[in-house]
Amino acid sequence: MYARIHDMNTILAIDSDSNMRAIIGRTLQREGHRVIEAEDAKTALRLAREYRPDVIILDTALSDMSGLELCAHLRTMPYVNHTPILMLSAHQGAQFAAQALDSGSDDYLRKPFAARELNARVRALLRRSRKQQPDTRITLHLQADSQSVLVNNRRITLTPTEFSLLEYLCCHLDEHHTTASLLTNLWHYPDGSGDAALVRNHIRNLRRKIETDPDRPAVIVSLHGRGYILNARVV
């Protein structure tokens, strides 16, 4: 289960500066929002997965990852890949604002900013978000006793290896998995060993069974240089 409070917008504020997080928190809480805070990318990813915020406010300067990199990563995560992101930065140049938008953010706000401007930007992002199309991802329900999966209530029988692969992806929804990491973490090959073709073949077979169009996969998605990630609702 993920943590949400009904009838209250949840805002995730990501900033390495505790004073800035406090300012954002006080400003938005006065508007009736629930604000959760993260000081680094690692914490932000965990909170995004756990709380599935309605808006993410992200500073460009973090200790463990740049805000631009984190924004791009959030755009690949199920549950928050369409969440509005407001990027904050002390940079004044138009070129940097363009980079922020290109990384996947929906809006850009320069520091320092007035409280009323922050509130107005958040209100606009929430209005825009409510007009978005409903979630069209497939729903997966794994059934270990029969080694099968319900894909939108349609039962599909899997081989034991296919089932273990899909189960592993379902248990790590917000992570990318390279062929090397799957060989090591799922099939327990020593680092640097194992045949990458093994992973590709099982991924291909799974796609043939669960994808609407296996040639244009939308469920088991592969991103160049990052690996595979599962894009589905798991119940």
Q: Where are the beta strands (DSSP E) in the chain?
A: 10-14, 34-38, 55-59, 85-89, 107-110, 139-143, 148-151, 154-157, 220-223, 227-230, 233-234
Judge contact between 48 and 136, C-beta under 8 A. Answer: no
Buried b (16+ CB within 10 A) or exposed e, 196-214: eeebeebbebbbeebbeeb
Q: Is the pLDDT of residue 133 over 70?
A: no
In the chain, domain spans: 10-130, 139-234
What's this model's pTM, rounded to 2 decimal places? 0.59
C-beta atoms surrounding 102 within 10 Å:
11
Class of domain 139-234: mainly alpha
Mean pLDDT across the stretch 61-77?
91
- Reported as a single tens digit per residue, the pLDDT across 180-222 is 999 999 999 999 898 999 999 999 999 999 998 898 888 998 8
What per-residue confidence (pLDDT) applies to 4?
A: 43
What per-residue confidence (pLDDT) applies to 7?
A: 47
Beta bridge partners of 13: 37, 57
Instruction: Name which of 143, 160, 157, 165 is nearest 235 in CA terms.
Output: 143
What per-residue confidence (pLDDT) applies to 5?
A: 40
What per-residue confidence (pLDDT) applies to 86?
A: 96
What per-residue confidence (pLDDT) applies to 132?
A: 59
What per-residue confidence (pLDDT) applies to 91?
A: 78
- Reported as a single tens digit per residue, the pLDDT across 2-52 is 444 434 799 999 999 999 999 999 999 999 999 999 999 999 999 998 888
Q: CA–CA separation, 96 vs 102, rounded Å? A: 10
Burial class (CB in 10 A: 0-12, 13-18, 19+), 27: buried
Return the CATH number of the domain spanning residue range 10-130.
3.40.50.2300
pLDDT grade for 95, boundaries at 50, 70 and 90: confident
What per-residue confidence (pLDDT) applies to 131?
A: 59
Q: Is the pLDDT of residue 159 over 60?
A: yes
pLDDT grade for 101, boundaries at 50, 70 and 90: confident
**26-35, 64-73, 97-106, 142-151: the lowest-pLDDT one:** 97-106
